[in-house]
Structure 1
Amino acid sequence: MDTARTPKPLSRLAEDLRAVDFTVDALDGLWGGAAAAALHRGERVPARRVLDGRRRAHAGGAVLATLAELFVLGLPVPADEAAEALPRLGLDDAVELGLIRRDGDLVVAALDLRPYAFGDAHGEAHWWILSDLGELALGHALGEHHVLGVGGASTTLSGLMLPTPARRVLDLGTGCGIQAMHASRFADEVVATDISERALEFARMNLELNGIEGVELRLGSLFEPVAGERFDRIVSNPPFVITPRTEGVPEYDYRDGGMVGDALVEAVVRGCAEHLEPGGTAQLLANWEYRGDDDGLERAAAWAHGLDHWIVEREVQPVTEYAETWIRDGGTRSGTAAFDRLYDAWLDDFAARGVTEVGFGYVVLRRPVGGDASAAASATDGLARVERRHGAIGSNPAGLGGHLAQCLAAHDRLASLDDGALAALRLTVAGDVTEERHYWPGDADPTAMLLRQGGGFARTISPGTALAALVGACDGELAVGAIVAALAQLLEVDGAALAAELLPEVRELVDDGFLLLPAD
């Protein structure tokens, strides 16, 4: 073999995967919707039964089924079938790569390899992601240096990313590299850091496997690898899980930051101030503790002092549920002595700080354009938005980043407009907004009206008669002031008083994406 001309192993692996259409859609079609849903719940039996049936019907099986059984279900396959499925890579190079190991006449996966599909502002795409084997394939609890693949938190953060161009992006705590890969689609340069050498090796492999360039990997804790540097964008799914610092409690690299309580999240939020360029934005997943009578969400907002911020709490868990969630996440089963011991350790840790609940949500930070972080705290037009949005959100959670970008841009434009300038604008109703009217039987007038947002955070408001009429008239033809004047005449009320009532509400509707500003 001419090694000088032979593609590198990961490039050959990509060719093999591409040749058999190793994609999410193809696998879902292979074993069907019910089995695919079971896999999302961590159960592989339905998918295995489908593949077993295919093997019985077609001796030797198809190559896609072989790869699915080997890497997605984590089951051994005959070596000759694995060789047929990986003809370009070959089994010897697959072993050397650490992808598989031999077990007699069988081949067993040594790494998790699965397809990943997504859509963003650039369109639909798919990648392949390498990570450590999960609990399903291992058959036991995860190791402390486990490198996680793409999970729910990963897709949440990638969906939150602002789909706008950036010069330099920092992915803080990159893990398998998934956020750096997403960031590379809109950034000129990406720096990805992690405290785990093993995680960075996976990130390197995933970048090479998917042909992604322009990402620099650096080893170190939090902001240490980028000391003195600034970025247009910071994204991070930090290791924020609150874990007892007690002997015998596992500390997983992918989720535990080694600090007490929510101190790691506080450190990340505060550290963003000195690493953002003026006007630069950070987007994080985070959690915060509720201690006694202290409001956890207000504590999180205090960490962002001096920065524009928009913090959205999506969920609050009592400490009992929080502990159970993360003990099971490590692979320790309920009803065992090990589970009970860890449960006690978690509850002791929370009790020591008076923690009763833990909130989880999204954090958006921005350094003031003037560059003086201290100025934002007193600026009248600075963004300081803190809200609770528990429960379901819009019809496209994966596209929430576009909604955030739109709302941030709208806030900035509104901040520069006085009421006279706002009244002169011709607004339009967002395409995802619908109106509901509720009537008592026989009544001609509605007893209640609701405006619902189909996308974004799926907000619902109950407008008064005048505001509902104003929104209904916002078709881009009439200025807001003209609509208000017409309503004042129709309702026989003072025009100035009605404007004073409605214009602040119009600002809120623009901030929330119900109403859209005209193009510049």
Structure 2
Amino acid sequence: MEQLRDHLLETGYTIDGVRERLGAVAASALAREELVPALRATADLDPRAALIRLFWLGVPVPARAVSPEVLVSGLVTTDGTDVRADVHLQPWETDHYVVSDRKVRPGDPAIRADHVVGAGGASANLAQLVTRRPVGRALDLGTGCGVQALHLAGRAEEIVATDVNPRALDLARLSWSLSGISGIAGKVGSLYEPVRDDQFDLIVSNPPFVISPGGPLTYREAGADDSFVRDLVRQAPRHLAPGGQVHLLANWLHLDGEDWRDRVGGWLAEAGCDGWVVERDLQDPAEYVELWLRDAAEQGTPEYTSHYDRWLSWFEEQGVAAIGFGWITMRNSGSLDPVIRVEQLAHQV
């Protein structure tokens, strides 16, 4: 992957290089998953434009438009005179790269159960929350495409990254290799199983937190209710070194007749650590279902209405009034009287 990395950097396939090549209008449209302006901006198929089309937009390009480093990378398939990408390869930060499955757009085949999602806004938000101080041992729990481990590189002396999905670790290793990062230990398993006897100075997690009546999508489904995140919080202290911290993103339920602050705050109280819970957004059940059906590109499919109805019916049966989005921070302070704050933000941070 070293030769491919060198080619990507030399060609300017970086965050700044892509923005420069696309321009403000096309870049803004692309953030809304509208491809036409970006396709127009890359129509001349110069080397950088070809990489943008191939790896970011996910459209075939003529084989003559790409370099030998790309053709022999193992990340593309040649079909006659054209080449198509088998993965989504996006620049990240200054000189890092993230490899994931190709983005799913309306009209695409259904998402495979072991789909590996790429880095996005949630990934960036979590990275901003995490402490910047150097640490000894760090754990990226549920690494997915490996993006949080990239953020930990250079700050942690030792990094362990886990995921229940073996394909995720395969693609994460490509992300780390293309980013010039080595030494990250990848382990397969759910929750804390792969690190059962280990302790860390820092744990970060963007876990599969989507609350649904049950679905096949490993990368996002937490299963029924919010017990997955609850267990993540409850089990964290035994894996925290003294003074160690946890930072994770989460969804939680607002149930009829129950204050969500008491529920989520209760998880932290049971954990016995200092904790801070922040709810940054709140959606009603219909908004929530629509968000995640769009995420799976189900709009316009024959199954859309039945899936929508089944999900709403399940929320109604469970007494769900709304679903909160936010983050949870914990610290193993060793205090006998831990400080716990649970709050709802009325503004963006």
Could you say which TM-score interval applies, normalised by the shorter chain?
over 0.9
Q: Say whether residues 1:339 and 2:339 are aligned partners.
A: no
Partner of 1:324: 290
Partner of 1:223: 192
Q: Distance in 2 between matches of 1:231 and 1:209?
A: 26
Contact 1:180/1:192 (8 A) holds in 2: yes
Q: Say whether residues 1:294 and 2:258 are aligned partners.
A: yes
Q: Distance in 2 between matches of 1:277 and 1:358?
A: 32
Partner of 1:64: 48
Q: Say whether residues 1:352 and 2:317 are aligned partners.
A: yes
Structure 2 matches for 1:368-383, cutoff 5 A?
368-369=333-334, 375=336, 379=337, 382-383=338-339
Q: Say whether residues 1:183 and 2:152 are aligned partners.
A: yes
Q: Say whether residues 1:279 and 2:255 are aligned partners.
A: no
Greater strand percent: which structure?
2
Tell me how many residue pairs correspond in the alignment.
347
Secondary structure of 1:228's counterpart equals: coil
Secondary structure of 1:68's counterpart equals: helix
Normalization by structure 1: what TM-score?
0.65
Unaligned runs of 5+ in 1: 1-9, 56-60, 118-124, 394-520
Q: Distance in 1 between matches of 2:232 and 2:239?
A: 10
Partner of 2:13: 22
Matched AA of 1:161: V
> CA deviation digits over 1:209-251, x for unaligned, max 9?
1111231100001100011211111100110100112xxxx42
Secondary structure of 2:95's counterpart equals: strand
Structure 2 matches for 1:19-418, cutoff 5 A?
19-52=10-43, 55=44, 61-82=45-66, 86-87=67-68, 89=69, 91=71, 93-94=72-73, 97=74, 99-117=75-93, 125-136=94-105, 139-245=108-214, 250-257=215-222, 259-305=223-269, 306-333=272-299, 336-369=301-334, 375=336, 379=337, 382-393=338-349
Matched AA of 2:242: P
Matched AA of 1:237: N
> CA deviation digits over 1:50-94, x for unaligned, max 9?
222xx2xxxxx4111111111111111111112xxx23x252x23
Query: Percentage identity across aligned positions?
Result: 40
Contact 1:44/1:73 (8 A) holds in 2: yes
Task: Give how far 1:344 is off.
Answer: 1.2
Q: Distance in 1 between matches of 2:229 and 2:263?
A: 11
Larger Rg: 1
Task: Give how far 1:142 is off.
Answer: 2.4
Matched AA of 1:184: A
Q: CA RMSD in A?
A: 1.5
Contact 2:139/2:159 (8 A) holds in 1: yes
Unaligned runs of 5+ in 2: none
After TM superposition, the runs of 4+ consecutive aligned structure 1 residues lying more than 4 A away are none
Task: Give how far 1:132 is off.
Answer: 0.5
Contact 2:9/2:95 (8 A) holds in 1: no
Q: Distance in 2 between matches of 1:26 and 1:114?
A: 12
Matched AA of 2:253: E
Secondary structure of 1:362's counterpart equals: strand
Q: Distance in 1 between matches of 2:182 and 2:299?
A: 41
Contact 1:244/1:349 (8 A) holds in 2: yes
Cα 1:337–1:105 change in 2 (3 A) is: closer
Secondary structure of 1:293's counterpart equals: coil
Contact 2:53/2:61 (8 A) holds in 1: yes
Q: Distance in 1 between matches of 2:292 and 2:184?
A: 31
Partner of 2:2: 11
Cα 1:314–1:354 change in 2 (3 A) is: same
Secondary structure of 1:135's counterpart equals: coil
Task: Give how far 1:319 is off.
Answer: 0.9
> CA deviation digits over 1:361-413, x for unaligned, max 9?
1101111236xxxx2xxx2xx321111113322xxxxxxxxxxxxxxxxxxxx
Q: Distance in 2 between matches of 1:187 and 1:161?
A: 12
